[in-house]
């Protein structure tokens, strides 16, 4: 058969996630239409195909060694905007950056904005991303009235939360393993300005951080804490907690209140990280110094500070390719959520990180609101902590293996869109709804055309018999 | 599938009764209880190696037949090994090799040719077969156990040394040919390693152990190295040795 031919000779590209770890080679296709998406599925060889957007997943979710990768770069059209209803229909490859530039001047904003706007709508659905507004607005998938999915089994489908809840919720957060997303309709959030009014508070320790977030976040649409992961002892968990609201027109300075000026959204094309940046730039000393400075420069309490949306939502997008500052070996992001009531576990994990002098440049804490029905959707009510860690940090493998255990035991989970090293045997402990998801996937992709490196690394995703036994304790890795 | 921190899901050792091969497989397999497949000729010695690998924390351990001296079978061995693994092969360790008996082999008999066939011809054939499989997968690593003896061939063991020099060069070139394919080739150059193969020989300076070679190998893979010396100081030693005049070099003892 044609698709069984030796594919090793085809032109391939080395792909990795944003963390730049574990790259693999795949044949890249760029489908431009529904027909071409169907062809991409039909042409997939024994190693399958996976969709990919802008490659912002930290791990291996959007790579498929030895198989095909369908990149959505040519599915980049905004198809229609309904200003009355606040709805937009886009192709899967449209980025949130593109969408913001288009709809902000019209007085709208995407309902959920993750830490970077350089993600595609397809990727945001497949990872069911969240942002600083999760406690109020939920995940991205919650604001998607319909998805046009090309599934290998049944073919092209339009799936909605009401009409086809199983397929819809298996696809949101489904890591691309239920089909290739063609189009989606999104609800938009009306805004008066493209600025954000920020109130912030500096907290001296973890208890204060948790208290401030719990007490104040209900009053704001957005909330996040930047936690200093090197502060020890009585300062453990000290943070800068930020709260935000889309600024109203009357909150802007008098000279900027014209509608066009107020809704202007044109962040400068980002500066590339210079190639001469030494790869050892981020070490314990520089991170400690940065955190100290960051913490000290923040006022104890500040109210009503008006900042540009890009600065509030996507501070890192100001430097293109910032992921390269972690050097050749790359880095990983570890993000987990612990249910409400597991604050003691949260403290223990942060203590462990601090005791290991684990220099996380970015450590972000947030309180999640209610979960959605997606079996693989990450957020659930509780505390989520996200950490960037250089791979070269010695002992990181063992430390995270042990943290996995604490998270799983507490009823928490890690975020698959960022994962690149989870202990495979803990997947189903963390995602107990996995069997339900597997059944839907079986229906949508009976021949297993959709495959990815993530799926190979965590085979229990698709196949319960592949789940390794859970060892008595964490494995050791030097 | 290898993860971001270098933990792997499966390891294939060609030369499955090799102590160094088993030590490397164990060290690689431990973090994620990886599948280990030992492929070799000597069933009883492979059985012992399998026990060692299990004991350090590997998951499923299997043994299968592999003959380095039968290049015609290598392609099939790779396919069978992939089938047994039931998943991608993340690391192939080329661990087979003969030490030979320099004096006897110089004096005559089939020993010299046999050594050259196993250590060089077998490595070329198995190395290419492994590379083809990993290239299809789009990822994977080949660890080739060379020796410092191949860096500069010595009078005292030039039959063995030249076979290692040949396979060492072959795997360096293979590594370059794999750029962009997702396949990583790493050459390991241990000094004198205390094993069954070297039992009875006097320790050379800077003698090392299979476990030390295994640790250095795993670290090298995690760091994306193309060449690892064990112990690391041998690299500096050989930077000097490489330039010794021949009349001095040929007097360097075994």
Q: Tell me the domain boundaries of chain A.
A: 2-72+449-457, 74-190, 195-427
The pLDDT value given to residue A7: 44
Give first-to-last CA distance, chain B, whole Å.
42
Q: Kindly tell me if the per-residue pLDDT of A473 is higher than 60.
A: no
pLDDT of A273? 64
Which stretch of DSSP H or E encloses residue A227? strand A222-227
Q: Where are the domains of chain B?
A: 10-249
Contact state of B88 with A65 under an 8 Å Cβ cutoff:
yes
Share of chain B above pLDDT 70, in %: 100
Helices (H), strands (E): how many in chain A? 14, 21
**A20 reaches B (C-beta below 8 A):** no
What pTM did the predictor assign? 0.93
Say what the alpha-carbon torsion angle A448, A452, A454, A457 is, to the nearest 10 degrees. Answer: 70
> pLDDT at position A321, please?
75
Check whether B86 has a pLDDT greater than 90. yes
Residues A103-131 as b or e (16 or more Cβ within 10 Å = b): bbbebbbbbbbbbbbbbbbbbbbbbbbbb
Q: Which of B1, B2, B3, B4 to mutate to test the interface with A (most CBs of A within 10 A)?
A: B4
Long-range (24+ apart) CB contacts under 8 A made by B235-244 are B237/B206, B238/B148, B238/B151, B238/B152, B241/B151, B241/B152, B242/B151, B242/B152
In this prediction, residues A58-81 reach a mean pLDDT of 97
- Catalytic, out of B66, B96, B120, B160: B160
Q: Tens of pLDDT along A111-154? A: 999 999 999 999 999 999 999 999 999 999 999 999 999 999 99
Q: In this structure, what token pair is assigned to residue A140?
A: 């991205």
Q: What percent of chain A has pLDDT over 90?
A: 76
CA–CA separation, B32 and A14 (whole Å): 25
**Locate tokens 């040919």: which residue?**
B177
In the prediction, which pLDDT does A470 show?
Answer: 59
Calpha distance A383→A390 (Å, rounded): 23
Contact A72, A98 (CB under 8 A): no
Tens of pLDDT, residues B137-164: 999 999 999 999 999 999 999 999 999 9
Nearest to A420 among B4, B30, B137 (CB): B4
Over 60: is that where the pLDDT of A472 sits?
A: no
Residue A24: per-residue pLDDT: 97
The residue whose two tokens read 């890795």 is: A477
pLDDT above 80: residue B27: yes
pLDDT at B41 over 90: yes
The chain-wide mean pLDDT, for chain B, equals: 95
Pairwise CB contact (< 8 Å): A60 & B138:
no
- Does the active-site annotation cover B120? no
Mean pLDDT value across residues A213-226? 96
pLDDT of residue B108: 92
Eight-class DSSP state of B121: I
A2 has a pLDDT exceeding 80:
no
Structure confidence at residue A276 (pLDDT): 62
Nearest CA of chain A to the CA of B205: how many Å?
27
pLDDT digits (tens, 9 = 90+) for A79-123: 999 999 999 999 999 999 999 999 999 999 999 999 999 999 999
Q: Order the strands of the A24-29 sheet from edge to edge.
A: A13-15, A24-29, A68-71, A49-52
Over residues B232-251, mean pLDDT: 93
Lowest-pLDDT range of A32-36, B5-9, B204-208, B242-246: B204-208
Spacing of C-alpha B149 from chain mean position:
14
User: What is the residue whose two structure tokens read 């991303």?
Assistant: A129
Which residues in A288-381 belong to E strands, given as ranges?
301-308, 319-320, 331-339, 363-368
pLDDT, residue A389, reads 87
Rounded CA separation B17/B46 (Å): 4
What's the fold here for domain A74-190? 3.30.465
pLDDT of the residue at A272: 65
Model pLDDT for residues A261-276, shown as the tens digit of each residue: 999 999 876 666 666 6
* pLDDT at residue A475 tops 50: no
Residues in chain B closer than 8 A to A401 (CB atoms): 31
- If DSSP codes are grouped into helix, strand and coil, which group holds residue B157? helix
Cβ <8 Å between A14 and B1:
no
**Is the Cβ–Cβ distance between A225 and A240 less than 8 Å?**
yes
**CB < 8 Å to B224, chain A:** 328-329
Q: What's the pLDDT score for residue A5?
A: 41
Contact A475 B32 (CB under 8 A): yes
Is the predicted pLDDT of residue A225 greater than 80, yes or no?
Answer: yes
A25–B180 CB contact, under 8 Å:
yes
Chain B residues lying within 8 Å of A397, measured CB to CB: 5-7, 31
- H helix count then E strand count, chain B: 10, 7
Secondary structure of residue A235 in the 3-state scheme: helix
Tens digit of each residue's pLDDT (9 = 90 or more) over B160-182: 999 999 999 999 999 999 999 99
Q: What is the CATH number of domain A195-427?
A: 3.40.462
Question: What is the spatial distance between Cα B23 and Cα B100, in angstroms, rounded to a whole number?
Answer: 22
Interacting residues of A111 by C-beta distance below 8 A, sequence separation 6+: A137, A140, A142, A143, A186, A187, A188, A189
User: Which residue from B132, B136, B142 is spatially nearest to B8, judged by alpha carbons?
Assistant: B142
Least reliable range by pLDDT among A142-156, A212-226, A456-470, B40-54: A456-470
| Residue pLDDT, tens place only, A328-385 | 788 899 999 999 999 999 999 999 988 887 767 778 999 999 999 999 999 999 999 9
Question: Residues A171-207, buried b or exposed e (16+ Cβ, 10 A)?
Answer: bbbbbbbbbbbbbbbbbbbebbbbbbbbbbbbbebbe
Return the minimum-mean-pLDDT range out of A19-23, A162-166, A467-471: A467-471
* Architecture in CATH for domain B10-249: 3-Layer(aba) Sandwich (3.40)
Start-to-end CA span in chain A (Å) = 46
Residue A224 has pLDDT above 90, yes or no: yes
Q: Does the distance separating the beta carbons of A329 and B223 come in below 8 Å?
A: yes
What's the confidence (pLDDT) of residue B254? 56
State the count of interchain CB pairs (< 8 A) between A and B: 108
Question: Rounded mean pLDDT of chain A?
Answer: 91
- Let me know: does A184 contact A446? Beta carbons within 8 Å: no
Residues 6+ apart with CB under 8 A from A200: A240, A241, A242, A243, A298, A299, A301, A302, A305
Task: Check whether A176 has a pLDDT greater than 90.
Answer: yes
ipTM of this complex prediction, to 2 decimal places: 0.93
pLDDT of residue A288: 75
Average pLDDT over residues B36-55: 95
CA angle B180, B185, B188 (to 5 degrees): 155
In angstroms, the CA B174 to CA B168 distance is: 10
Give, as one character, the DSSP assignment of residue A281.
G
Alpha-carbon distance A339 to B15, whole Å?
49
């Amino acid at each position: 058969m044609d698709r069984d031919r030796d594919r090793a000779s085809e032109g391939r590209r080395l792909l990795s996630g944003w963390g730049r770890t574990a790259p693999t080679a795949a044949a890249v296709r760029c489908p431009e239409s529904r027909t071409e998406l169907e062809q991409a599925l039909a042409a997939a060889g024994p190693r399958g195909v996976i969709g990919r957007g802008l490659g912002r997943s930290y791990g291996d979710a959007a790579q498929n060694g030895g198989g095909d990768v369908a990149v959505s770069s040519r599915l980049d059209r905004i198809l229609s905007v309904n200003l009355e209803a606040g709805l937009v229909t886009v192709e899967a490859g449209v980025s949130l950056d593109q969408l913001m530039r288009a709809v902000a001047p019209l007085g709208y904003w995407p309902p959920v904005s993750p830490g970077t706007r350089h993600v595609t709508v397809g990727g945001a659905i497949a990872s069911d991303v969240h942002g600083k507004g999760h406690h109020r607005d939920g995940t991205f998938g919650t604001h998607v009235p319909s998805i046009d999915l090309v599934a290998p089994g049944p073919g092209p489908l339009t799936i909605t939360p009401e009409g086809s809840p199983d397929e819809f919720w298996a696809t949101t957060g489904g890591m691309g393993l239920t089909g290739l997303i063609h189009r989606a309709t999104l609800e938009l959030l009306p805004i008066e300005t493209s600025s954000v009014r920020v109130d912030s508070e500096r907290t001296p320790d973890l208890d204060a951080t948790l208290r401030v977030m719990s007490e104040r976040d209900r009053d704001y649409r957005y909330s996040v804490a930047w936690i200093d992961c090197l502060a020890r002892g009585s300062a453990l968990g000290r943070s800068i907690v930020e709260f935000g609201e889309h600024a109203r027109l009357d909150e802007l300075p008098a000279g900027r209140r014209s509608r066009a000026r107020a809704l202007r959204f044109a962040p400068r094309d980002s500066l590339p990280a210079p190639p001469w940046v030494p790869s050892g730039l981020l070490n314990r000393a520089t991170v400690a110094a940065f955190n100290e400075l960051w913490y000290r420069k923040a006022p104890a309490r500040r109210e009503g500070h008006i900042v540009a949306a890009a600065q509030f939502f996507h501070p890192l997008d100001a430097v293109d390719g910032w992921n390269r500052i972690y050097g050749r070996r790359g880095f990983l992001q570890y993000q987990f959520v612990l249910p409400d009531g597991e604050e003691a576990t949260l403290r223990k994990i942060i203590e462990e990180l601090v005791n290991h002098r684990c220099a996380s440049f970015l450590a972000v804490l947030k309180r999640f609101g209610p979960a959605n029905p997606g079996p693989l959707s990450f957020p659930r009510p509780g505390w989520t902590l996200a950490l960037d860690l250089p791979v070269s940090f010695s002992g990181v493998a063992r430390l995270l293996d042990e943290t996995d255990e604490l998270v799983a035991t507490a009823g928490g989970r890690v975020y698959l869109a960022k994962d690149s090293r989870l202990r495979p045997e803990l997947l189903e402990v963390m995602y107990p709804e996995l069997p339900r998801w597997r059944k839907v996937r079986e229906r949508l992709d009976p021949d297993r055309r959709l495959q990815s490196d993530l799926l190979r690394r965590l085979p229990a995703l698709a196949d319960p018999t592949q789940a390794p036994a859970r060892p008595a304790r964490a494995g050791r890795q030097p | 599938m290898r993860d971001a921190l270098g933990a792997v899901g499966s390891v294939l050792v060609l030369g499955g009764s090799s102590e160094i091969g088993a030590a490397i497989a164990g060290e690689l397999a431990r973090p994620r209880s990886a599948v280990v497949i030992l492929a070799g000729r000597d069933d009883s010695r492979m059985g012992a190696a399998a026990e060692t690998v299990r004991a350090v924390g590997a998951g499923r351990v299997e043994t299968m037949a592999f003959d380095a001296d039968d290049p015609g079978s290598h392609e099939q061995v790779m396919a069978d090994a992939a089938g047994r693994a039931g998943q991608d092969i993340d690391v192939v360790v080329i661990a087979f090799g003969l030490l030979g008996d320099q004096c006897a082999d110089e004096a005559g008999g089939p020993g010299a040719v046999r050594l050259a066939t196993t250590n060089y011809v077998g490595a070329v054939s198995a190395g290419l077969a492994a590379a083809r499989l990993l290239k299809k997968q789009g990822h994977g690593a080949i660890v080739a156990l060379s020796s410092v003896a191949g860096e500069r061939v010595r009078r005292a063991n030039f039959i063995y040394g030249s076979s290692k020099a040949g396979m060492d060069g072959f795997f360096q070139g293979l590594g370059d040919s794999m750029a962009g394919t997702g396949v990583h080739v790493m050459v390991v150059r241990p000094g004198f390693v205390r094993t069954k193969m070297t039992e009875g020989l006097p320790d050379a300076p800077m003698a090392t152990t299979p476990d030390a070679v295994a640790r250095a190998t795993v670290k090298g893979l995690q760091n994306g190295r193309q060449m690892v010396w064990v112990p690391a100081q041998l690299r500096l030693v050989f930077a000097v040795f490489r330039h010794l005049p021949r009349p001095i070099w040929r007097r360097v003892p075994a």
